[in-house]
Structure 1
Amino acid sequence: MPMRRLDCGVLGPTPIDQLHIPDGTTVKEHDVVADSDVLIGAQSQLRLGVRGHNVVAGERVSVDGDIEAAGDCRLDMWCEVTGNVLVEGDAYVGERTHITERLVVGGDLDIGDDVDIEEGFEASGWIVIRNPMPTLTFFVMYLTHLLRLGEAEDAQELVEELAADSDRGPLTIPQSASVSDDAWRVSTPATIGDDCRLHGNIRATEIDVGRGNNVFGSLRAQNDVTVGAGTKIHGDVTTRNGSVHVQGDAVVLGDVSGHDVTIDEAADVDGVIRARGEMRVGSVADRDAE
């Protein structure tokens, strides 16, 4: 059947305004693996492959590895993929995108002008050569659905199909981010869910890490940093201007420093604790009683 195209109104700036890593996300064999959708802001550089449900990348995103999408995949113009793009659903590839290996699509393929796929492509469904809907438009529609603000019937229908795992929220990588085995660098806040296993230092304006994570790297922020109960940080936890809170039975295998520092009684810090302001060590019950 023919692929649908939607009319869109006036758009504001990209709504992907933070790094959000949902529950259960892992880094395996140089791939970021999420059980959710993956949204990548424009001009971001990923020195890793990506595996997710629906994978959506903005303009001039580069991915050093394969992209594997269990649902649909949407690449905006001027994207660069050093590897294969394997899609079980439909694929939308913007003009002047470059894929160094193969593009394999289980559904329909909507492809723009001057796309370079070095080892060829195949699609089980329809192939339409035209310029697909800009990914920024798709971002706005997608996140409008997640926030339950959408009123356009056609947009709601499309995005509901592409948001099968929206309860936990997508993995979102903001504009101009840099992600590699060495570091996740963003100029926005960063939120990490529960039960994630990540490689690389986390650099953000503020960082909130959930419970039961294993982070093989350090945390450094300009503002507040929170380390959830049962999380293990293999590195330092530092902030330039904010406070640090190490909760529950979290473990930090490094130094902790901030303006105000709070360490729960059951937490373990294997390093030096530095506080320019107030330092508190005790149980949650002790603090609530004060």
Structure 2
Amino acid sequence: MPLRSDPLDELAIPDGTTVEEHDLVTDGDVFVGGQSTVEFGVRGHNVVAGERVQFGGHIEAEADCRLDMWCDVDGEVLVGRDAYLGERVHIAGQLLVSGDLDIGDDVDIERGFEANGWIVIRNPMPTIVFLFVYLSQLLRIGEEEAAEEAISELIESDADADPVVIPRNGHVSDDSWRVSTPATIGDDCRLHGNIRAETIDVGKRNDVFGSLRGRGDIAVAEDTVIYGDVTTRSGTVTLADGVQVRGDVSCENLEFHEGATVEGTMRAGGEMTMVQAGARKQIAADGDGGRKEGKSEERASEDVGQETSDDAESNAGDDAEDETSDPVEVDADDADEETEPTDDADKVETVDEEDGDDVESVDDPESPNDEVEIEIVSPDENSDDDADTDTEAEVKAEE
């Protein structure tokens, strides 16, 4: 286990922790930093409190319980193994210990105490100093295995669960959880009170009957219900799929899943990002970015559809022109057999040379760039040509 300068540097709430009517209940250990206030009772495996810690209810420890100097308990203390009480500890109720009792000077127990093991009345040293001296002595005499066993017994609980950690100067009650450090909440928890911390990380499937407020980032995992507001000064709020916020959301940047629900107002001074299944969609801070983007996509799709329809119409028109503009071959014999024009032939319009713009052009398949002009000849000219051919035939016959 790596040693840190301050082991109580965050508010840690493990999986399955619940706050009942008067008690904080967990399967693991409970560590409370010095000069903190816990306004309800505590039930856990091992209960360890620093100096000047105040408890507003009972303490129930399945294993050991150690209360440092000047601690105050407004209730009874029930210990399954050994108990260690520092100097000037005050207990408003009764102290019941199944194992040994190590008690300091000027300890005040209003309703008396009972212990089944040894009772030693002295001034026990603080917890950290005791552990440091004990481990150092074991290492000096070469008992490294004993030192490792002592550390494992202190750190690891029989329930194999993470401990509840309340940092120094923390304040925990039904109304609020106020700390000046980051806060981490596990999965499947049920908490009462507004949570105030530097940053907040909430796990899955939690019920928080209060609001979340931090200076930094706030992240809420899947299927968690927040019965209050989510507010941060300069951080980012992240809402996962299935999150329900029964209040307002105010932050610098907001990132929320499309399956998240916010019953109040969402305010973001910077960016808003909606996370979809396998995609992300960025929204401007004023909320118009998503609509503008959607409109542009609709216009683009309409333009594409219009272009495809125009291409289809132009292709159909070209096919019609090709069918009507195919040249028709006429034999010379058929031209000679034409009958004399009738009165209706006078209705045929002739194309003047001046109206060159109205001349119909036909595209040649072999040379599409060449234009062919077709002139409609009047039937009078055809009759004159036939008369000339008849006179030539009579002259040859006479010769």
Give the structure-2-normalised TM-score: 0.64
Asked whether the equivalents of residues 81 and 97 of structure 2 are also in contact (C-alpha less than 8 Å), the reply is: yes
Q: Alignment partner of 1:238: what SS?
A: strand
Asked whether the equivalents of residues 59 and 135 of structure 1 are also in contact (C-alpha less than 8 Å), the reply is: no
Task: Report the Cα distance in structure 2 between the residues aligned to 1:12 and 1:234, rounded to whole angstroms.
Answer: 35
Alignment of 1:21 onto 2:16 = no
**Aligned residue type for 1:109:** L
**Aligned residue type for 2:97:** V
Aligned position for 1:98: 90
Aligned position for 1:214: 207
Asked whether the equivalents of residues 15 and 140 of structure 1 are also in contact (C-alpha less than 8 Å), the reply is: no
Query: 153-162 or 22-31: which moved more?
Result: 153-162
**Aligned residue type for 1:234:** Y
Deviation at 1:18, TM superposition (A): 0.3
Distance change >3 Å, CA 45–CA 244, structure 1 → 2: same
Which structure is larger by alpha-carbon Rg, 1 or 2? 2
Task: Report the Cα distance in structure 1 between the residues aligned to 2:180 and 2:98, rounded to whole angstroms.
Answer: 36
Aligned position for 1:82: 74
Deviation at 1:140, TM superposition (A): 7.7
Aligned position for 1:68: 60
Alignment of 1:115 onto 2:107 = yes
**Aligned residue type for 2:259:** A
Q: Alignment partner of 2:278: what SS?
A: helix
Matching of residues 54-203 of structure 1 within 5 Å: 54-137=46-129, 153-162=145-154, 163-165=156-158, 167-203=160-196
Deviation at 1:154, TM superposition (A): 3.8
* Larger RCO, structures 1/2 (Cα 8 Å, 6+ apart): 1
Asked whether the equivalents of residues 179 and 185 of structure 1 are also in contact (C-alpha less than 8 Å), the reply is: yes
Asked whether the equivalents of residues 14 and 136 of structure 1 are also in contact (C-alpha less than 8 Å), the reply is: no
Superposed CA deviations along residues 158-182 of structure 1, whole A, max 9, x for unmatched, are: 2322322585421000000000000
Q: Tell me the C-alpha RMSD between the 2 structures.
A: 2.0
Q: Alignment partner of 1:68: what SS?
A: strand
Aligned position for 2:367: none
Aligned position for 2:234: 241
Deviation at 1:131, TM superposition (A): 2.3
**Aligned residue type for 1:188:** T
For these two proteins, the number of residue pairs brought into alignment is: 269
Asked whether the equivalents of residues 77 and 96 of structure 2 are also in contact (C-alpha less than 8 Å), the reply is: yes
Distance change >3 Å, CA 208–CA 158, structure 1 → 2: same
Q: Pick from 236, 242, 251: which aligns with 2:244?
A: 251
Identity of aligned residues (%): 61
- The structure with more helix, counted as a fraction of residues: 2
Deviation at 1:138, TM superposition (A): 6.4
Structure 2 gaps of 5+ residues are 134-142, 282-399
Distance change >3 Å, CA 229–CA 137, structure 1 → 2: farther
Task: Report the Cα distance in structure 2 between the residues aligned to 1:202 and 1:57, rounded to whole angstroms.
Answer: 21
Task: Report the Cα distance in structure 2 between the residues aligned to 1:42 and 1:191, rounded to whole angstroms.
Answer: 20
